A and B are shown apart, each in its own frame.
Chain A
Amino acid sequence: MEDRPIVELHDVGVKYPNGVTALEGITIDINSKDLIALIGPNGAGKSTLLKIILGLIKPTSGSVKLFGCSDLSKNLKYVGYVPQSALVRDPNLPFNVYETVMIGRTPVVGLFHGTKAEDKQKVEETLKLFGIYELKDRKIGQLSGGQSQRVFLAKAMVSEPKLLLLDEPTSGVDAASKKEFYNILERLNKERGITVILSSHDISVITKIANRVLCVNKSQFFCGENEDFSADAELHKVYGHPVEIVDHHDHP
């Protein structure tokens, strides 16, 4: 499974029944241990692309393979996902941090099986790894943006995925929490070999930690190694106007 690309997208496109094109001509092979920066303006199709990889949206053209298999559902247990809306929570949602992270074990535990001691141990380890063990009894709707973001990353990681998909995970989060988040992400990629596809508007930071960049705005504008990415030129093309990158020195 490690020898071939983790994700294979070949000329992938999505056209809605009303004829509107959401995405077209996306072709990329994502290899093990890649950290892909997925860049594009709002409405460019970044979330759609991640949902295609997860099988939540069926492409109307092209082909998608996950761990070498066209039946995406077979390998979803190797994928962790943090959606764009993860931070928007109802304060009355009666799930505490421990339960939220435990929910992430569901694909591993399997149908008709209850959680075992090893699942509980894994959850506790993950809570400690992400520095949220002390918050384990807190309701998730009562956490700050930064805390909530770490909880959802922990939930995605507790099933020990090989691929992590993150859809604008730092939106609405303060600078200090962002810095901490990207540090954790870089460690997961470099030390644990987790393949990451990260969609974000924090261009200055994610292009520093990513080894490859994919720029989309309905279609594919750039796909290549980080060192070949010319930020000013490529961002001008993908955003349709000059983009000034402001480095907030969020990342060491």
Chain B
Amino acid sequence: MITLDVFSLLQAPFIQRAFLISIIIAVLSSILSIFIVLKKISLIGDGLSHTAFGGLALGYYLSIFPLWIAAITVVLGSIGINKALRSTKISGDAAVAVFLQLGLAGGITLLSLARGFGVNLESLLFGSILIVDYTQIVTAAVVATITLTIIFLFFKEMVYITFDETQARAAGIKTWIFDYLLSILSGVVVIIAIPIIGVLLISALLVLPALISTQITKSFKQTIILSPLIGLITVIFGILASVIIDAAPGGTIVLVGLAILALVFLGKRIQGSIVNSKRK
């Protein structure tokens, strides 16, 4: 009976819209996650998503295009975070924490002042499969096309910087431009992912796919292929779980991702034990 219910739910247009936007977000965030994880700036997603929360709160408080205000805030935040990350006066994680706290504190204050925004705050924080419309899907598709084109155009340079920033600078690459570019692109992904994943858990999609794939792959080429596949599996099964147990998709998507990571670690451990026992 439950199977039948789930099957009929999957045919519902709102679920299909949720799957469509999730697939776009999964591919995009998974590709970006490779550069983010390998550059060891995994906390950037948290900083950006909380900045987005502050921006959304400001937009709702002022009643002017909340997503656009959030987008502007995130782009400014990504520039600020990157500037702070490059600064020698403050450590990278502290720099991200400052922006995270600023966004969250600003958002909570505005929320208290407005006594709620007249929107479902829970869906903003944890995501919802109910609030995705076709305009958001088209926006996500356009953003994904532009972002992937930019990555394709500067792929060599971004790979070099990811490999070793000092060596890239020594080779004449203006690394600061690409650092800002990566931050801004990550910020844009955060904005388009808010409806489905929610503000609080977006950063996981900018970390888990690469974190999982780099445990398995033996080359960068394999990582570029495997990371989006893992991202896709994570969001598809995450949304399915969300539908089946009627929970917020943000939580189920991240839990699926973490389950895959745990399985990979377990698999590697077993493989290591087998290799060791064969040596003995």
Q: Report whether A95 and B219 are in contact in the complex, using a CB–CB cutoff of 8 Å.
A: yes
Residues of B in contact (CB 8 Å), total 27
Is the CB–CB distance between A81 and B218 below 8 Å? Answer: no
Q: Which residue of B lies closest to A73 (CB)?
A: B172
Alpha-carbon separation in the docked complex, A14 to B253 (Å): 52
B interface majority secondary structure: helix
A224 contacts which chain B residues (CB < 8 A)?
Answer: none
Which listed residue (B157, B218, B219) contacts A106, Cβ 8 A?
Answer: B157
B37 to chain A, nearest CB (A): 9
CB within 8 Å for A76 and B166 given contacts A93-B38, A106-B160:
no
Contact B166 A95 (CB under 8 A): no
The answer to whether B163 has its CB under 8 Å from any CB of chain A is: yes
The number of residues on chain A lying at the interface, defined by a beta carbon within 8 Å of a beta carbon of chain B, is 31
Asked whether B219 lies within 8 Å of A56 as measured between CB atoms, the reply is no
B153 within 8 A of A: yes
Interchain CB contact under 8 A, A83 and B166: yes
Question: At the interface, yes or no: B91 with Cβ under 8 Å from chain A?
Answer: no
B271 proximal to A (CB < 8 A): no
> Are A94's CB and B222's CB within 8 A?
yes
Instruction: Assess A92 versus B160: contact at CB under 8 Å? Given A83-B170, A112-B153.
Output: no
| B221 CB–A CB distance under 8 Å | yes
Nearest chain B CB to A15 CB, angstrom units: 16
Tell me whether A111 and B157 are in contact (CB under 8 A): yes
Bound Cα distance A96, B219 (Å): 5
A100 near B: Cβ within 8 Å? yes
Question: Is A115 a contact of B156 with CB atoms below 8 Å?
Answer: yes
Q: Which one, B163, B171, B219, contacts A137 given CB within 8 A?
A: B219
Asked whether any CB of chain A lies closer than 8 Å to the CB of B123, the reply is: no
Q: Which residues of A contact B222 (CB under 8 A)?
A: 94
Residues of chain B within 8 A (CB-CB) of A201 are: none
Q: Is A99 an interface residue (CB 8 A)?
A: yes
Q: A69-101 CB contact bits vs B (8 Å, 1 = yes)?
A: 000010011010101011000001111101110
Cβ B219 vs Cβ A94 within 8 A? yes
- List chain A positions with a Cβ less than 8 A from chain B: 54, 56, 73, 76-77, 79, 81, 83, 85-86, 92-96, 98-100, 103-104, 106-107, 109, 111-112, 114-115, 137-139, 159
For this complex, 10 residue pairs linking A to B, each with C-beta atoms less than 8 Å apart, are A56-B166, A56-B170, A77-B172, A86-B164, A95-B219, A106-B159, A106-B171, A107-B172, A109-B156, A139-B219
